[in-house]
Amino acid sequence: MAKYYREALEYGMKEYAKSIGETHSDQFYTDMAWNGLLETKAWETQYADPVYANKEKNRIINVIVNYEKSKNNECE
């Protein structure tokens, strides 16, 4: 179920960004879609390899935090 909503969020964010003249990589939208799912079972079990999981989770969190800090969004 989380996959369905993440994909819907990715698509919605991409379409909204286009409408306001922003463009980002597909990976950016994929990472940002995790924002509301941090600390959920889906987040905790998304990768089988614990070393890769930690590296990837840290990368995703950094993308989210850096974007929020950039003030390049209209969600303030």
- For the stretch 12-67, pLDDT in tens is 999 999 999 989 999 999 999 999 888 889 888 988 899 999 999 999 999 999 99
**Residue 46 domain-assigned?**
yes
**Residue 50 domain-assigned?**
yes
Instruction: Print the domain residue range for 60.
Output: 2-70
pLDDT band at 74 (very low <50, low <70, confident <90, very high): low
pTM for the predicted model, two decimal places: 0.80
How many domains does the structure of the chain reveal?
Answer: 1
**Residue 75 domain-assigned?**
no
What DSSP letter does each residue of 24-39 carry, written as one string?
Answer: --HHHHHHHHTGGGTT
**Residue 35 domain-assigned?**
yes
**Residue 55 domain-assigned?**
yes
**Residue 18 domain-assigned?**
yes
Judge whether residue 7 has pLDDT over 60: yes
**Residue 49 domain-assigned?**
yes
**Residue 76 domain-assigned?**
no
Please give the distance of CA 29 from its chain centroid, rounded to a whole number.
5
pLDDT band at 75 (very low <50, low <70, confident <90, very high): low
Neighbours of 10 (CB within 10 A): 18
Residue 38: partners with Cβ closer than 8 Å, 6 or more residues away: 61
